[in-house]
Structures are given as C-alpha cells and as structure tokens.
Structure 1
Amino acid sequence: MPSEFDLISRHFSRATGHTDLAGGDDGALLTASAGMQLVVSTDMLVAGTHFFSDCDPESLGWKTLAVNVSDIAAMGATPRWATLALSLPVADEAWLTAFARGFYDCATTFDIDLIGGDTTRGPLNLCPTIFGEVPSGCAVTRDGARPGHDLWISGQPGRAALALAALRGELELGPAYRDEFMLALHRPQPRVALGKALRGLASAMLDVSDGVLGDLGHIIERSQVGCVLDTDSIPIAALTAACPDPQRTMQALLHGGDDYELLFTAAAAHREQILAISHTLALPLHRIGRIDDQRGHLRTQAANGTEKPLPACGFDHFN
C-alpha cells in the first residue's frame, strides 16, 4: 500500500509557474506581486453533505477547487495558489488518479499553482485553501451596497438545485436540459473574468453557494440596507422549460445552492457598462432588484406594485 508521501508525490506534485518554493518542505514560499493584496479563502467539501460518496471523482476534483476559485472571483481577485488537505478512507489509486486529473484541470484553466497540503486516513473530506491577488484597495466586499443601487445576478441560478433534486429522484428533468443542469452541479464555472471586470463598478458582491436569498441576506446585513426583488426580472424561464413545476423552480432559483454565480450591487449609472461586460463575456447578467433603506427587509415586488416580504434564508449546515 502506498505511503502518505507516495500519494502526494504521485498524484499532487506538478511543476508550478509562479511559486518560489512549492511542496516538499515545511511550508511554501510565495512572493506577492507589487501593489497587490492577498485574498485567502477556505471552503471544505464533505462526503454526504456536499457530494455523494460515489460521485465521479474527476468531476469532484474540478468542483473541489472550483468552489474555492469562486470565492476569489467574488472579491474581484485573480486566483494564484492553492493548498489541499485530504482525508481519505482508503488509498484508492484509480479514484485518486481521476480526482487529481479533475483538480489539475481546474488549476490549469485558472492558472493556479498547487503549493502543498496534507493527507490522512479518515472519512472522505476535501479541504482546499486558495490564495489570490487583487490590486490594493480594489477588492469588492459585501458591505458597499447603498440605497438606489441595482441588484444583479450572473448566469442561471437554480440549475444545480434542480439537478440535485433529479439525482435524488424527486423530479424529472427534460432530456434537452438534463446534461446542462448536471454539468452546472458537478462542474461549476467560477466567474473570475466577471469578478475582475466588475472592479470599480460593483459596490458589493459575493458568490451564490447557499441560495440567492440566503446569500443576499449577507449583503443586506453587512451593508445595513434592504432590498426589493423584481419578480418579473428573475430569470426563471430556462428552469421552467426543464421542470414545469413553478413552485419547485422558484424554490430552486431563490433557495437552492451550488450555483456559484455572482450576486452583486452597482449604482444605476453603471448599467450600460455592466451590459457591455455581459456582451463581451457572452454571459447573461440579470438586473433583478434594487437596494433601499429598509434595513434588514427583503421583499418581492410584482408588476402591479404589490410587495410581499421574503425571508433571507438559504442553506445552513446546522439548521
């Protein structure tokens, strides 16, 4: 049976591109670029909580890194380095080969060096830490939303939640949409280019991992504002085409997690620039609401002006 160090050497040791000293010592050595701040984030994935234990290991390798890259994107930063801590029930060579292939596929796509980590025996648990860079003072945080600002969402939230429900046997997805929705769940696409393009335009931003409403609640809380969602602007059509249950699709869009789209606010004066970014990146950006001064209050507004309060609740590991 291979040792811990054999596993690391065989599966997680590759040449790095922008690291002074990577794996093989007690720590890595990095040099941040001049005029940059470091952005650091950790996002753990646990079997049975974040993924099925029998899921495809190559897709899991991609997702393990991608969900961390998404945190860097949400601050308008560029991902640069990552570490990976693995708890494995057994040293399955075939599983590790496929997992590493997916992990490095994501790392190559976003030009990230794997610079170290750890392995141990135990329940399947995947814990990367990612490091990125952003020009000093330019990081987009959650506390900059102001009354009058627009609320935007990228892409198509809700696909991953519907895919998960389909895997659980709770619904059937239309065959024309199933592969697309499963891809959204298993191989999310971090919006790094969008996050960088929104520096200086977005006033607050985060990635949607625990549901649009739940994550919007973090912006409302940190910025000490309220928000009105425009029900006619919420991008629901693609979901209802795949699953014609309106209650299920709206639940998936507003409360489902695992989308890793960017939710952000921006002054109304930036609308044309944001739409130009959407065109350049070939990525839909939807203006779905507005920020107001009703601190802590989240509600929807229909075309006739009728408002309805909403709870800002998403996925919570302890509830």
Structure 2
Amino acid sequence: MPGEFNLIETYFSNQQANRDDVVLGQGDDCALVSPPADCYIAISTDTLVCGTHFLASACPADIAHKALASNLSDLAAMGATPAWVSMGISMPEVNEPWLASFCGAFFELANQHDIQLIGGDTTKGPLTITLTVQGFVPIGQALTRGQARDGDGIYVTGTLGDAKAGLDIILKTRLSMQADINQTLEKRHYRSTPQIFAGTQLRGIASAAIDISDGLIADLGHILSRSQRGAIIDTEQLPISNELLHFAQSDILARQYALTSGEEYQLCFTVPQQHQQKLEQQLAGIPYSRIGQITNSGHIVLHEQGCEVDWELAGYDHFKDH
C-alpha cells in the first residue's frame, strides 16, 4: 500500500504547469507566491464532509468538482480572479481508483480557471476534503455584502432550485417520472459552474454580492443584515429551469425550491439604478434575472402575483438533520 508521500507524488504533484506567480509550489514546508502589487488577496476555505455534503457512494469526480466549484464560487462573489488552492484530504483507507477519478476532475476544473494546487496535506480519517482558495481583486474593487442601498435592483445569475431538486433525487425523497430529468438535476447538484467571469464583470457595478450556497432567502438575508436593509422579491421573476418545473409539477413549489435551494453557487447581487445600462453591457451573454428591489424595511417580503405571501421558508443549515 503506498504511503502518504507516494500518494502525493502520484496524484497531486506535477499535475499542472506552474503559474508565473508561484515561486515555490508543492514539496517544501510552505509554498511561496508573488501577488501583484495593486491587488488584494481574496482567501476562502470550505470543507466537504462525507455524509453531510455527499454520500459515500457518490462519484469521486463529482465530489472533486463540487469541492473546488464551491470554493471558486466564493472568489466569484468577491469579484476575484482565482490563483492558488491548497487541499487537505483525509480518507479512511487508500483507494487509488477513487483518487485517480477525484484528481482527474479536480485538475480539469482547476485548469479551466487557471488555479494552481500549491500544497496541502493527506491523512487517515473520515472522508473529508478541505480547500483553501486564493485569488486577486484590484484594490478598492472587491465586492462585499454590506453596501446595498434603497432602490437597488436585486439580481441572480443562472437558474435556481435545481441543486435542491438534485439532492431530493439523490436521497430519493422525491423523483420525477422522467429518468432524463432526474439525471440532469442530479448532475446539476454536483456539477455547478462557478460564476467567476460574472463576478469580475460586476466590479464597479454591483453594490453588494454573495454566492448562493445556503439558499437565496438565507444568503440574501446576509446582504440585508450587513447592509441594514430589507427587500421585496417578486417570486414570479425567479429564474427556473424547465427541468425543475417538470420535477416540481407546480409553479409555486418550483419557486419555493428556487428560494431555498442550497449549493446552487450562482451569484445574488444588487445594482443601483444608475448602473443598469452598464450592467446590461458587462453581463451580455450571461444569463441573469432581476428578481426584486432593496428597501429600508429590514426584512424580506415575498410577492406572488402582486400579493404578499408568507411561505415561512428557510435556507439550508449544515447543523440540522436533513
């Protein structure tokens, strides 16, 4: 059975070309990197745990994509460009076919976004993956959660609700009668597309931004809390895929999925009216939707067909049983 250093050498080292800003990568006590002088470094860490974020039977390639995509999404929410990533992975035992599949998908996504693995650790234990990503954002241009203002439009990229539907399918709590819809939604749960380009295009336009990891209601709530504002959401404007509509068999249920679905990794952002035209120019070709407006009420109000509704919805909480 290969030891730790053989595993690192075989599966994690020398899998990518060196970025110019990586002075010393894997193989020493620390990595050495050289950031641009005119940028802040954006840093985010996320952990995925078997049994909480994925089942033990999940495809290792899907797990790898989900792990890295969720971290890249945090950089997107700050308007940052990816640069480096470190990985800590624990496994109950060495499983080389599992590692080969995991690393193949991990480096495929990493190379798509020019982010280099520069270090980490492997150890024996429950299956857990922890990633720390780092990226660049020009000084004074980082997107944050705390600058939304009255009258700002509220927007989201992509469609919402598919990840929750995919999770229902994985857990077999709800299924579509159509196998192809089940397969599509399950894939969307694991294979989200981090909105890096949209995030960088929103610099200087968006007043606040966040990625949708715990559900739109919960994550928009973070913006409102930091900005000390409220919001009106027009539920009929929520972007919903045809697959989710078929799956839910109800417009209302589909909209509730869209409001509460975690691990979507789309962006929710607010834009002042004076930047509307620039927004249209900068996000040309990127699917996005206006779903509401920032208010001074201090809470979220949901409107359905022009009337206020109380659906008593909540986002995803990793410390609750599901």
Q: Identify whether the pair has TM-score above 0.5, normalized to the shorter chain.
A: yes
Does 1:40 pair with 2:43? Answer: yes
Once the two structures are superposed, the pairs formed by residues 1-319 of structure 1 within 5 Å of their partners are 1-14=1-14, 15-18=17-20, 19-173=22-176, 174-236=178-240, 238=242, 239-279=244-284, 282-295=285-298, 297-304=299-306, 306-309=307-310, 313-319=314-320
Q: 1:286 to 1:115 in 2, by over 3 A?
A: same
Q: Distance in 1 between matches of 2:170 and 2:44?
A: 29
Bigger Cα displacement from structure 2, 26-35 vs 13-22: 13-22
* Deviation by residue 1:52-82 (Cα, 9 ceiling, x = unmatched): 1111111211221111011001000001000
8 A contact 1:83–1:130 mirrored in 2: yes
Matched AA of 2:319: F
8 A contact 2:260–2:313 mirrored in 1: no
2:27 aligned counterpart, secondary structure: coil
Give the Å deviation of 1:292: 0.5
Give the Å deviation of 1:237: 5.7
Matched AA of 1:53: A
Q: Distance in 2 between matches of 1:225 and 1:311?
A: 19
8 A contact 1:298–1:311 mirrored in 2: no
Q: Distance in 2 between matches of 1:147 and 1:54?
A: 47
Give the Å deviation of 1:310: 6.2
Give the Å deviation of 1:268: 1.7
Give the Å deviation of 1:94: 0.6
* Deviation by residue 1:22-52 (Cα, 9 ceiling, x = unmatched): 0111100011012010000001000000011
Q: Distance in 1 between matches of 2:313 and 2:276?
A: 25
8 A contact 1:298–1:312 mirrored in 2: no
Provide the alpha-carbon RMSD of the alignment: 1.6
Q: TM-score, normalised by structure 1?
A: 0.94
2:23 aligned counterpart, secondary structure: coil
Q: Distance in 1 between matches of 2:184 and 2:82?
A: 26
Give the Å deviation of 1:274: 2.2
Bigger Cα displacement from structure 2, 223-232 vs 171-180: 171-180
Q: Distance in 2 between matches of 1:245 and 1:308?
A: 16
Q: 1:311 to 1:32 in 2, by over 3 A?
A: farther
Q: Distance in 2 between matches of 1:141 and 1:233?
A: 24
Matched AA of 1:225: R
1:43 aligned counterpart, secondary structure: strand
Moved over 6 A (4+): none
Q: Distance in 2 between matches of 1:133 and 1:283?
A: 22
8 A contact 1:89–1:123 mirrored in 2: yes
Q: Distance in 1 between matches of 2:229 and 2:248?
A: 34
2:85 aligned counterpart, secondary structure: strand
Matched AA of 1:299: V
2:30 aligned counterpart, secondary structure: coil
* Deviation by residue 1:187-243 (Cα, 9 ceiling, x = unmatched): 111000000000011110010011010111100101100000012212236321343
8 A contact 1:76–1:195 mirrored in 2: yes
Give aligned pairs, total: 315
Q: Distance in 1 between matches of 2:168 and 2:250?
A: 13
Give the Å deviation of 1:309: 4.9
Q: 1:136 to 1:291 in 2, by over 3 A?
A: same
Give the Å deviation of 1:160: 1.0
Give unmatched runs, 5+ long, in structure 2: none
Q: Distance in 2 between matches of 1:237 and 1:92?
A: 37
The share of aligned pairs that are identical, in percent, is 38
Q: Distance in 2 between matches of 1:311 and 1:222?
A: 22
Give the Å deviation of 1:137: 1.0
8 A contact 1:150–1:287 mirrored in 2: yes
8 A contact 1:144–1:203 mirrored in 2: yes
Q: 1:170 to 1:246 in 2, by over 3 A?
A: farther
2:237 aligned counterpart, secondary structure: coil
